[in-house]
Structure 1
Amino acid sequence: MNKKNDPLNRMAHPGGASLRDLMGKQSVRATFRISSRAIESMAVVAEHFGIKQKSLFDHLVEDVETLNAIAGRLSADAMKEVPRVQKTFVISRRTLDALELASRQFGAPRDALVEFSIQRLGELIDGERKRHAVRKALLKRVEERKALFHESLAESVQALGEADPFVERLAHICGTLEHTVDDLKALVKRGEGLEGL
């Protein structure tokens, strides 16, 4: 059907989106048989960047040009040697449609399209793993410096007393530093999943 004559495209939403656009964003459940590594990669990257797996999945698969390029390289038995497990993802209707279309057009298994789309995260994971190692080393140094500030605070209290303006300001700095280091620790902890990939 011609897009112009498609009633779903003509029915505009008050915000300007067509009904077809809104339906494309609708969430659906889809089950795939892919490798444990792909499943873990999705979970770790989503956790590390603080995004939903649905958003990550949609981002990886909705790029039709890249999806078609992957599909064009896959054979019907592309997943034959890959040990797989079943996993259900929540994805957008548009993403599922793109997968099914590429699968039909190129004769590529849908599971293989998902597996190889997720494998594109490999380069990102490698880069983030290196950054995570740097963050861990820097956090250790920050914690050492925090300990020095606390030692200086203890010395200041002993020498000047708690009510001294110098001590009060240093205590404030130490309190702020404590909260900041806790935030840095939480950030580094979020990246721990990268170590196992």
Structure 2
Amino acid sequence: MEKSLNELPADAAGNMSISVQGLKGRQSVRATFRLPEKTIQLLALMARQLGLQQKSLFDQLMEDSSVLQQVAASVPSASALSGRTRQKTFVLSKRSLEILDRVSRRQNIPRDLLVEISILRLLPVMSAEQDKHRKRLLLHNKMKSLRKQLVKLAADTEQQLGSEDQASMLVRDVSDVLEENLCELEAILEKGQAIEQYEKLREHS
């Protein structure tokens, strides 16, 4: 038989109340900040690279109040906010916005600056992704060179043994597998082109 909320033990009702508050904190809200273009692009790019929604990544950066306070304490002054900025509206959880506002007031630091410095915590992750992208480009060149060798080997083998020979078919199979993997790698590299664009953006900012 189902019980109503009033019939539940006090601790159970209390736990349900906490859960409801947690759900309310997850409600999405919109907030506008003034940030440098490279900071806006950094957040968008890293969300894409990590396969996350931008809101989820933004929330992860803002929802830990203790970390956010450490970030705020590391900023020497409001003058740290430099360069040209523009307004950008983000979707974030209500909880993230409340924590952001609270830390901003408590630490006496502009909210925009706090958001910027928090997003810049992604730079080491970006650096690692850039390094991976460069290594993938080198691998791509090596695989293209290997493909040329396999194409020649397949042609030579067919000329010597015939196209229906088992050895000829094995070489063709190896060549086909390499071609498929090369296409997959090129798709990964295409996804990483935004990393190259971000590098150019930082160079010209």
| 1:76–1:109 contact (8 Å) kept in structure 2 | no
**1:102 pairs with 2:103:** yes
* Counterparts in 2 of 1:138 and 1:57: CA distance versus 1, 3 Å: same
Unaligned runs of 5+ in 1: none
Unaligned runs of 5+ in 2: 1-9, 200-205
Cα-to-partner distance string for 1:136-194 (whole Å, 9 max, x where unaligned): 11211111112211221122222222222222222222222111111111212222222
Instruction: Quote the residue 1:140 is aligned against.
Output: 141
**1:60 pairs with 2:65:** no
Supply the RMSD in Å over aligned alpha carbons.
2.4
| 2:81–2:113 contact (8 Å) kept in structure 1 | no
**1:87 pairs with 2:88:** yes
Instruction: Quote the residue 1:158 is aligned against.
Output: 159
Identify the match of residue 16 of structure 2 among 8, 11, 16.
Answer: 11
> What one-letter code is carried by the residue in structure 2 that aligns with 1:145?
L
* Counterparts in 2 of 1:29 and 1:77: CA distance versus 1, 3 Å: same
> What one-letter code is carried by the residue in structure 2 that aligns with 1:130?
D
Q: Give TM-score, length-normalised by structure 1.
A: 0.83
* Counterparts in 2 of 1:181 and 1:92: CA distance versus 1, 3 Å: same
Identity value in percent = 34
Structure 1 residues 175-184 or 153-162, which shifts more? 153-162
Q: CA deviation at 1:79?
A: 5.8
Instruction: Quote the residue 2:6 is aligned against.
Output: none
> How many residues of Structure 1 are paired with residues of Structure 2 in the alignment?
188
| 1:142–1:181 contact (8 Å) kept in structure 2 | yes
Q: Give TM-score, length-normalised by structure 2.
A: 0.80
Q: CA deviation at 1:115?
A: 0.4
